[in-house]
Amino acid sequence: MNQANASSALIELNGVRKSYNVGLPNEAEVLHGLDLRVKRGEFIALIGPSGSGKSTLLNIIGLLERMTAGSYQLQGEEVSSLDDAGLTLRRRTTLGFVFQFHHLLPAFSALENVTLPVLMAEGRVGAQQLEQARELLAAVGLAQAMDKRPSELSGGMQQRVAIARSLVMAPPLVLADEPTGNLDTASSDEVFVLLRRMHAERGISFVVVTHDPRLAARCDRTVELIDGRIARDEPVVYPA
């Protein structure tokens, strides 16, 4: 169990349960009362076998799914009882997402994909925000590919665009669901190095779901889920 001071916790989950098909004969509980705290600036790997509940937990942390029972405090605010508009607003301002399949909008260029969260929040993209998006794309090594459509980019490049997009609103927490799961080893390493660099440079917390033990070993802390329970939660010890 994480022993972090509660006051510095970015997120705090207590007794989180999640069931599907509630009230039906095929009701199934996939998370069985989880407790998890994530401090500001942490880089956490969420690992576990398929079906252990990693993605469900990530969706709950990302306010994309509601838990069946338990409490969830995001930046000290209880968010489990918020309505859809409240959850949407917090997703917009507090969270960044990176998905396994990049999930860029194919009709928009790389730069437009990165500025979409700004456009969505403010109805327009100002010159300063555009410059910031350009800097982000340059920071992920895509200075020459800003005007390219996702279909013109490799998988690794698309994932780097998705990372830049997740950072453009400067959220305190980025959630990445197997961000390297669809990439070859070289691209995978590149993307992971990039995530670590963004973490180091910007002090953003990351929760990364991964199947890759090599990558998990390069995080600050590993949380392992087995059958909907936290089986292991420990800091990664680097060899001396």
- Tokens found for residue 176: 């990445």
Number of chain residues interacting with another protein (CB under 8 A): 28
Number of Cβ within a 10 Å radius of residue 44: 23
**Contact set for another protein, span 159-178 (CB under 8 A):** 165
Question: In whole angstroms, how close is the CB of 82 to another protein at the nearest point?
Answer: 13
Kindly give the residue spans of alpha helices, DSSP state H, lying in the chain. 54-61, 84-94, 110-122, 127-139, 155-167, 185-202, 213-216
Binding piece for another protein, criterion CB under 8 A, among 20-28, 81-89, 135-143, 213-221: 81-89
Contact status: 48 vs another protein (CB under 8 A): no
Place of tokens 């407790």: 35
Binding piece for another protein, criterion CB under 8 A, among 89-97, 196-204, 205-213, 220-228: 89-97
Contact status: 65 vs another protein (CB under 8 A): yes
Applying CB under 8 A, among 69, 120, 138, 231 the residue interacting with another protein is 120
CB 108, CB 155: distance < 8 Å? no
Q: Rounded to an integer, what distance in angstroms lies between the CA atom of residue 18 and that of residue 177? A: 18
- Tokens found for residue 101: 């399949």
Q: Where on the chain is the footprint of another protein (CB under 8 A)? A: 59, 62, 64-65, 84-85, 88-89, 91-93, 97, 99, 103-108, 116-117, 119-124, 165
